Amino acid sequence: MNADTPTPAAAPVESDLDWTGRTVLVTGAEGFIGSALVDLLVSRGARVRAFTHYKPYGDKGNLARYLADPHSPVETVTGDVRDAGRVMDAVEGCDTVFHLAALIGIPYSYDSPGAYVQTNVVGTENVAEACRRHQVRRLVHTSTSEVYGTARTVPISEEHPLQPQSPYSASKIGADMMALSHWHAFELPVTVVRPFNTYGPRQSARAVIPTILAQLHSGARQVKLGSLTPTRDFTYVTDTARGFLALAACDRALGRSVNLGTGQEISIGDLAKALVHASGRDAEILVDRSRLRPAGSEVRRLVSDNTRARSWAGWEPRVSLDEGLRLTSDWIADHLDLFAADRYQV
């Protein structure tokens, strides 16, 4: 066992801080994971500064309930992570920064790779520099399991080679390295969190689970998907949010990358069958060639080694896949108007 291999703890206790009264910035706060993290921070007593992308049409999105409350513990700051000055202002006075803002979605990265570099790499540099200048207690930077590419060894530990199999994953690798460079060069207290496939209520239609459920709840008799053979490690969104907080309190994770995943994998084909069951519907699963990734870009297998998160921060997933799929199915059935089930979302 080398020096970097964590020793499993017999009965780990999840790392935590007293978040009461702490001012915390969440970039990408309106997003799927970001809004779940805001909910958790508010429940722990934090004062949340939500950095959101400016939208001239005034959509309040996932934070609407906070914006309607005149006594809300959430302050909204609109801007763009590509704007260094705006980011610098948003970070001022913050104890902790959770950086989730990113341009996501693999298919669109084939069409506009430069936009991914600007938002994900340059945006991360702006956030890291602002955290350094304002001497924040901790920066938690969000990565993705996509940086690993197709697994060479399983389960995938943080020592696995990084493989840029799409412009999106390449931009996230660049962002991770930019964040970690500030630890090495400037001693910025930063941790890189690598969630595997997070799912749950509020996830956008571009992800596979909402894609399947929206088709099912719209009454489709045939569910159209891309490749059915790749495997993924799915983590329910509240577990991922808990992992962010646990790692923000974990000094051993400073300057390191840490996976958040269940350690269990399921093929997309078997996942589709499980969703048919969870939804109570009946449908045939078909491959739609328009949804296939380029052959060299398809990540065939992702399953996490979560030893660091368990041993260093005492984190472990609590929501089973069956329970999480049922909860997600119920939410999508109640919010079907948000999804265009007959159109492929890139």
23-200+235-260 and 208-230+265-302+319-338: identical CATH topology: no
Strands (E), the chain: 23-27, 47-53, 74-79, 96-99, 138-142, 190-195, 197-199, 222-225, 231-232, 234-236, 257-260, 266-267, 284-287
| Torsion, CA 22, CA 250, CA 132, CA 198, rounded to 10 | -90
Architecture of 23-200+235-260 per CATH? Answer: 3-Layer(aba) Sandwich (3.40)
Name 214's Cβ contacts closer than 8 Å, sequence gap at least 6.
Answer: 205, 332, 336, 339, 340, 341
Give me the DSSP letters along 176-194: HHHHHHHHHHH---EEEEE
Which residues are known catalytic residues?
Answer: 168
pLDDT in the model for residue 69: 87
At residue 232, φ and ψ (nearest 5 deg) are: -140, 160
d(CA 319, CA 224) in angstroms, rounded, equals: 27
Q: Where are the domains of the chain?
A: 23-200+235-260, 208-230+265-302+319-338
In this structure, which amino acid lies at residue 223?
Answer: V
| Tokens of residue 182, six digits | 């500030």
How many Å apart are CA 57 and CA 63, to the nearest integer? 15
Task: Give the pairing of strands 266-267 and 231-232.
Answer: antiparallel
Radius of gyration of the chain (CA): 19
Confirm if 323 and 276 have CB atoms less than 8 A apart: no
Is-contact 320 171, C-beta < 8 A?
no
Helix 208-217, helix 321-334: angle, nearest 10: 50
CATH code given to domain 208-230+265-302+319-338: 3.90.25.10
**Per-residue model confidence as pLDDT tens digits over 178-224:** 999 999 999 999 999 999 999 999 998 878 899 899 999 999 998 87
* 210 CB-near residues (< 8 Å, 6+ apart): 203, 204, 328, 332, 339
Predicted local confidence at residue 295, as pLDDT: 65
Task: Please say whether the beta carbons of 146 and 157 come within 8 A.
Answer: no
Mean per-residue pLDDT pooled into runs of 10, the chain (346 residues): 50 85 97 97 97 77 88 95 98 98 93 98 98 98 95 95 96 98 98 97 90 92 84 97 98 98 95 94 82 67 96 98 98 89 48
**What is the model's pTM?**
0.91
Q: Distance from CA of residue 127 to its chain's centroid?
A: 17
